[in-house]
Structure 1
Amino acid sequence: MSTVGKRIKSYREKQNLTIEDLASRTALSYEFIKAVEEDDQYPSLRPLVKLARALGVRLGTFMDDQVSCDPLIVKLAEREEELTTHMAGEEPGMIFHSLGKSKTDRHMEPFFIEMLPESGKDTTLSSHEGEEFIVVHSGRVRLIYGQEESILEPGDSVYYNSVVPHNIGAADGGKAEIYAVIYFPE
């Protein structure tokens, strides 16, 4: 299986773009894009969204291995880690498991996300077009949405417009698990 970073590099090269070209299109630094392509590490989904938009592909394109037919069933035992975000100091923050991988005609990005304690230390707000729907599976989750902060517990859900600056992370220094569906308009 190819890594997300290798897939980004492949799409960039297919379009005859240099890292500098992509940096200019995304406002991400040359060094950052090079690290994404070579080291396969990301601080959050936000830069991946920027890269996908700049390359004219869906975010899920970076995670797709093969084309599937409907319905796409992902068994718990077959769920695989797709990408891990890293916080300052290289500590893992979140581990994303794509639940829509290989469904090439999808309009949503469903994930099971393991939120490690380190994720709660980052309160950087991000925004992008679209919507997000999250259900807390286990642990406690801190949501910052605009000027408001909320704590969500198992069974709680939230649905919001992601154009409003937001941040989500594990609360209270613990681990949490969520199901998230992200919609990015074309």
Structure 2
Amino acid sequence: MRSGPLPKIGGKLRELRRRRDLGVRELAARSGISHSTISLIERDKMSPSVDTLGAVLDALGTTLTGFFSDLRSSLPYSPFYTSSDLVEIGKEEAISYRVIGFDHPERQMLVLHERYAPGADSGQEFVHAAQEAGMVLSGSVEVTVGDQKRILKPGDAYYFDSRLPHRFRNVNNGPSEILSAITPPTY
């Protein structure tokens, strides 16, 4: 898996404080965190605990979630992925789910290259709050959605509300592959 640099939070924290026209000592008084600790955090000389950072951000009128989502969106990333960059989240021997764009800082969908061994079955029908679409690239896959069932071959596709019970089963003698997308990425 590719891993980029961890975001440095000090500069962003200092920017928020200055934008609010606060000095370090004033922020310390408002947050209950010592001015020396805030200074060390702003210079990236200290990694704060979640509680410490939360107290400082509360005093600045923002949240941990907002602070980090803004930081993540500014991280550099490549829009291209080699085969070795795809992160495996399945059981490689039966069903392989390789994620495309796993480390994208603002990923809002799950894109998978799925590979099913002969006879592989996703198991009991499952549900999750999303929409799901895919296309069979090779082999033959039996897809069950609610009370409907169909065998899909290369070029055949599906699109359904994932809150309906669904299941995938390779009915081919060899491996079968699907390229799929799920949004939001709840699976």
Question: Per the shorter chain, which TM-score range?
Answer: 0.5 to 0.7
Gaps of 5+ in 1: 3-13, 16-56, 58-66, 87-91
Q: How many residues align?
A: 117
* Counterpart residue number, 2:182: 182
Residue 75 of structure 1 is matched in structure 2 by 82
TM superposition shift of 1:81: 4.8
- Tell me what 2:116 maps to: 115
| Paired residues for 1:58-97 under 5 Å | 68-69=76-77, 72-76=79-83, 78-85=84-91, 92-97=93-98
**Runs of 4+ off more than 6 Å:** none
Give, as a single letter, the amino acid of the residue that structure 2 aligns with 1:117.
P
The aligned residue for residue 154 of structure 2 is 154
Correspondence for 2:126: 126
Distance 1:108-1:80 versus aligned 2 partners, 3 A rule? closer
Show the 5 A alignment for 1:44-63: none
Q: Is the 8 A contact 2:139 2:172 kept in 1?
A: no
Q: Aligned equivalents of 1:80 and 1:110: distance in 2?
A: 10
3-state SS of 2:90 partner: strand
Q: Partner of 1:163 in structure 2?
A: 163
CA distance in structure 1 between the aligned counterparts of 2:120 and 2:114, rounded to whole angstroms: 11
Among the aligned pairs, what percent are the same residue? 23
1:67-124 deviation line (CA, Å, top 9, x unaligned)? 653x611134x344512338xxxxx32111111111020110101111112423x541
Instruction: Give the RMSD, CA atoms, in angstroms.
Output: 2.9
Per-residue CA distance 1:39-81 (angstroms, 9 max, x = gap): xxxxxxxxxxxxxxxxxx9xxxxxxxxx653x611134x3445
Equivalent position of 1:138 in the other structure: 138
Which residue in the other structure is 1:102 paired with? 103
- Shift in alpha-carbon separation, 1:185–1:108, aligned structure 2, 3 A: closer
For 2:6, the equivalent position in structure 1 comes to none
- Whole-angstrom CA distance in 2 between matches of 1:84 and 1:130: 19
Which amino acid counterpart does residue 84 of structure 1 have in structure 2?
G
Q: Secondary structure at the match of 1:133?
A: strand
Contact 2:119 2:171 in 1 (8 A): no
